[in-house]
Amino acid sequence: MTMMTAPPAAANPSGNTTPGRYAGVDTHRDTHHVAVVDELGRTVADRQFVATNTGYRQIVDFLRTHGPVLAVGVEGTGSYGAELARILAEAEMTVIEVMRTNRQHWRLKGKSDPLDAEQAALTVAAGRATVVPKQRDGLVESLRILLAERTSATKARTAALNQVHALLITAPGAVRAEHHRYHGAELVAVLARTRPGGGDDPAQVTRASLKRLATRHRILTEEISLLDGQLERIVAELNPALLATQGVGPVVAATLLASVGDNPDRIATRAQFAALCGVAPIPASSGKTNRHRLSRGGNRQANHALHRLVLIRMRFREPRTMAYFARRRAEGLADRDIIRCLKRHVANEVFALLTHPTTEPLPGPLLREQRQALGIRLTDAAHALEVPYQRLRRLELGTRTDPDLVHRCRQWLDETGQQRLKTA
């Protein structure tokens, strides 16, 4: 019997037969290695460049000299490859984010910069990498930088307060007695006002250390307040509707905006955004077992932001949230599972605000003008609508949105205006 050997598979099993080149870049702090392959996966050229602005321009020229490059796979677009990804995008090249080579490939083929760059190019050519990296050239990048600074400041402030409590536990009895009745912010304020004397005995050294820790805590608190104000200004400029959403503050809004980057259009569907935030259930079926499990991947900061949003709506008893809770509890679901379901629903709501930000003015200020034209005080309106004063005030200022309250308020103002016309 005649034996036939099958020809080697092409590097592009997805069926893309468009002629052209694919490139891959293995990024490092000081150098970037670039490899170019053709549509069949054969290496055309590879070269190493320095990781400087001059080197980045040389990479662009190098790629253009090898025919039309359909896509460039770049490793580490969030670290060493960030600036290169920006420059390639400015050169109108398609940039694809490539994960590092798996260890199985390293064991079989070995590891080097040329091999890693070639593997990145082959991954793009085969269609195994399709993720478009986040752009880092707009106000969202400013939010990411401020969030990173705020996170470190928050951790340092918490560490300072924990050290204060730990120091008071082992402090001399006289020092402990002086501050035993104070807690939290009040304790920090009292310690910052103290005037410890000199000396090297344990009591004086403890008092001096407590004062310095309290001063550090206050400085970090002022820094966090400054960052929160800047975050709020940027978010209000980028997406005021998101900031006005019930349960969304400056930090939550900035975290969600930073999770999608300056190019939210790279996320095409609600399911993709849910997977990005780690709220999409993952199939875990096998044989006759058909089930899903909780996703542990995705952007954990975005997942935490959605979790905080749901908890805030539960705390302030947002009507839609509480109605959903009551319905799912009647179905036998535990609160923990209901929160997971709510995070998915909230992710769908946030996705619409991120990808299609509304340009229409918020209804709150318009309702305020209508109320003032009728000569109705805010306190009287809140009493008639049976809502807290601050809730209605935030709605009118445009810092919060509440579709149900907007409908009720508009209907009540219209009815009040018609009644006054009839009695006039």
Specify the pLDDT at position 99. Answer: 83
The CATH number fitting domain 21-125, selected from 3.90.420.10, 3.30.420.40, 3.40.50.2300, 3.30.1540.10: 3.30.420.40
How far is the C-alpha of 231 from the C-alpha of 142, rounded, in Å?
A: 9
- Give the H/E segment covering residue 21: strand 21-27
Percent share of the chain, pLDDT over 70 = 93
**Could you give the CA distance from residue 83 to residue 100 in angstroms, rounded to a whole number?**
18
209, containing H or E segment? helix 202-238
The gap from C-alpha 385 to its chain's centroid, in whole angstroms, comes to: 36
3-state secondary structure of 117: helix
Question: What is the number of alpha carbons within 13 Å of residue 219 lying toward its C-beta?
Answer: 8
Tokens of 316: 């302030």
Task: Give me the amino acid identity at 69.
Answer: V
The residues of the chain scoring below 50 in pLDDT are 1-18
Position 109 scores a pLDDT of 72
Q: Are strands 21-27 and 31-38 parallel, antiparallel or unpaired?
A: antiparallel
d(CA 25, CA 79) in angstroms, rounded, equals: 13
pLDDT in tens, 94-124: 999 998 766 666 666 778 888 989 999 999 9
Q: What local confidence, expressed as pLDDT, does residue 285 receive?
A: 83
pLDDT at 364: 82
pLDDT at 87: 93
Which residue type sits at 367?
L
Torsion sign over Cα 405, 411, 414, 420:
negative
Q: What tokens does 193 get?
A: 């006002």
pLDDT tens-digit map of 141-185: 999 999 999 999 999 999 999 999 999 999 998 888 988 888 888
pLDDT at 106: 66
Of 14, 19, 67, give the one whose Cα is nearest residue 44.
67
299: nearest Cα among 357, 354, 225, 220: 354
Q: Which of 114, 109, 116, 74 is nearest to 91 (CA)?
A: 74
Residues 275 and 295: beta-carbon distance below 8 Å? yes
What tokens appear for 114 in the block?
């040329």
Nearest Cα neighbor of 244 from 410, 414, 405 is: 405
Tokens of 221: 């608190």
For residue 300, give every residue at least 6 positions away whose Cβ sits within 8 Å of its Cβ, in sequence order, or none.
278
248-287: burial string, b at 16+ Cβ within 10 Å, e else: bbbbbbbbbbbbbbbbbebbeebeebbbbbbbbeeeeeee
Domain coordinates in residue numbering, the chain? 21-125, 141-238, 250-355, 363-423
Structure tokens at 191: 């310690």
- C-alpha 144, offset from chain centre: 8
Q: Which CATH number fits domain 363-423: 3.30.200, 1.20.990, 1.10.260, 1.10.3470?
A: 1.10.260
The Cα 26–Cα 47 span in angstroms is 11
First to last CA, the chain: 105
Distance, CA of 323 to CA of 270 (rounded, Å): 23
What pLDDT does residue 273 have?
Answer: 93
Confirm if 96 and 132 have CB atoms less than 8 A apart.
yes
Question: How far from 309 is each of 238, 246, 300, CA to CA, in Å?
Answer: 19, 8, 14
- Which residues are CB-neighbours of 94 under 8 A, at least 6 positions away? 70, 71, 72
